[in-house]
Structure 1
Amino acid sequence: MTLTNSQSIQQKKAALRQRLLKARQAIPPQLWRQKSDRICAHLKALPLFTQARTILAYCSFRQEPDLSPLLQIQRSWGLPRCVEKSIIWHRWYPNGSLPLQTGAYGIWEPHPHSPLVEPETVDLILVPAVACDIKGYRLGYGGGYYDRLLSQPAWIGKPTIGIIFEYARLPKIPKAPWDRRLDGICTESGLYFMAD
């Protein structure tokens, strides 16, 4: 039995994902905190971040870079809630929001009754990833949530920055036709924006 090109890409992604997640889990907690804090510092210095009305972010899971220090900044945030095959974005404020709760995948997410984010108010999307390549393509967890989201008309053209540790910024990632390219990448070493 021969694999289709799509199946071959998916197998390569799965093997790469497994190796990179294992490496991320091996980062000692103190080093993980330092690297996460450096990522937050780079983002805080970015005009795109400081001038944004609403920023979509995420709650760290499985040793993803931790953006929780940023979430304490008084502004309008959007946090994701997974519902079936879609991401629903809810408004979240450092004070005054309903408490976060554990969702279907064990990830902290907004309460279902929290107000929804209107796409037209969003100026920046911070995208979690297992890895990104130097052209801006992202290796996610395999569910396709962000690729589907970023293909929807309401979200096309919103600035996107992949959030990863430097070890996961790779020369090239296997890419499928539906994979969406990010505008930039932020690691503990700095911010990298993609040339067109």
Structure 2
Amino acid sequence: MLTPSSATPQEQKAELRRALLKARQAMPPQIWRQKCDRLCQHLQNWPTFQRSRLTLAYCSFRNEPDLGPLLQQQRLWGLPRSEGKTLIWHRWYAGVPLRTGAYGLTEPEPSTPLVYPDQVDLILIPAVACDVRGYRLGYGGGFYDRMLSQSAWASKPTIGVVFEYARLPKLPREPWDRRLTGICTESGLYLA
């Protein structure tokens, strides 16, 4: 195990990512479902979510918190599709077919209408962990950091979605890491 003084932020992130993903995979299915449902309820009750005309979200992968109960609501969503090192956002409504795309992720068909930043009111972002200041530990691809560093996306409210055990006091940070507006877990919604 690396000690904080001997490891680079990237090495610290990689080690933390492995440990947290292992813990997430070990969660019993019924506990996972209960936590997901409570997390969705916190988002559902948040006035910013209620007012959002178009919310960017994601389809759960490898035991990520599942937003399925929210995604089944008859409202307008944006879901990502990976293209190279970029996320392309597409409009989506409950009932519209999805496909398995790059990296095994569930995503919209490339032919569905695109979403542009000026249409978006809120972004729900998957994470391995978040810290109490609003910094996110992702999967290491940099997709969301690259997107949020663009001026068109920088002012959008962003909520990291994680389980409570992955809401940490502090994460290793690098210059390109973007701070989120808040974090949602099964225990509550915390604005940074």
- 1:7-156 alignment runs, 5 A limit: 8-95=8-95, 97=96, 99-156=97-154
Q: How many residues align?
A: 187
Describe the superposition over 1:134-183 as per-residue Cα deviations: whole angstroms up to 9, x where unpaired. Answer: 00000000000000000111101000000000000000000000000000
CA distance, structure 2, for counterparts of residue 76 and residue 118 of structure 1: 13
Q: CA shift at 1:133, angstroms?
A: 0.3
Cα distance in structure 1, aligned partners of 2:50 and 2:119 = 15
Deviation at 1:94, TM superposition (A): 1.0
2-side partners of 1:68 and 1:148: how far apart? 26
Counterpart in the other structure of 1:162: 160
In the superposition, the TM-score normalised over structure 1's length comes to 0.94
TM-score, structure 2 normalization: 0.95
CA–CA distance in structure 1, aligned partners of residues 169 and 117 of structure 2: 32
Moved runs in structure 1, 4+ residues, more than 4 A? none
**What is the CA distance between 1:83 and its match in structure 2?**
0.5
Tell me how far 1:75 sits from its aligned partner: 1.0
What residue ranges of structure 2 are gaps of 5+ in the alignment?
A: none
RMSD: 1.1
Identity of aligned pairs, percent? Answer: 68
Using the TM superposition, give the Cα deviation of residue 121 of structure 1 relative to its aligned residue in structure 2, in angstroms. Answer: 1.2
Partner of 2:180: 182
